[in-house]
Amino acid sequence: MPTEQELQISPIVQESLMHNSRILHNLQSLTASLFGVSAGILGLESYSGFLFYLVFSLLTAALFYAVRVAPTSLAAGKAPLDTSRYFKSPFEFWAGGLMNELAGFILTWTLFYGLVRA
């Protein structure tokens, strides 16, 4: 935890932080709906569907880290898998989308499951 003086010397800009998390949120909500579509078309049921969602959400987060966060974050001397250069909490980055976008996933999953298996 940086002290008050360190924060004043190199301040955290709230607007940039919000912009980052909004981008992340957009990506998560869009991909959650698309995962729902694919789970419905594949005809997954109960646990396998939720497992599908879990695995692919984590995969999205990992890809996002590898493509957008890692190059500059590692160059700035952060440890691997450390997102603190761009995001406030690692939980928000890795698992924040799981709960928030579950409703969107279930909606499209149900819709496409119903359409395909009617």
Partner 1 sequence: MAQVPVQTIHRDPQLFYWILFPITIVMILTGVLRHYASVLMASAPKKLDQKTMREQRALLHGINVRSNYHVLSKSSFTARRDALITAYESGDYLKDPDARGQPPPNPMSDPSAMEGMMGMMKNQMAMIIPNTLIMSWINAFFSGYVIMKLPFPLTIKFKSMLQAGVATKDMDPRWMSSISWYFLCIFGLQPIFNFLLGSENAANQMAQQMTQMGPQAGQMFGPGVDPNKQFLAEAENLAVIEHHSVLDGVEQRLLEGIKV
109 binds partner 1 (CB under 8 A): yes
17 binds partner 1 (CB under 8 A): no
Angle 46-27-42 from CA coordinates, rounded to 5°: 30
Judged by CB under 8 A, the chain residues 46 through 65 that form the site for partner 1 are 46-47, 49-50
- Helical packing angle, 90-100 and 102-116, nearest 10°: 40
Quick check: 32 and 102 in contact, CB under 8 A?
Answer: yes
Q: Which of 56, 110 has the CB closer to partner 1? A: 110
CB of 38 to partner 1, least distance (A): 12
Quick check: 115 and 40 in contact, CB under 8 A?
Answer: yes
19 binds partner 1 (CB under 8 A): no
Choose the binding region for partner 1 from 61-69, 73-81, 86-94, 104-112 (rule: CB under 8 A): 104-112
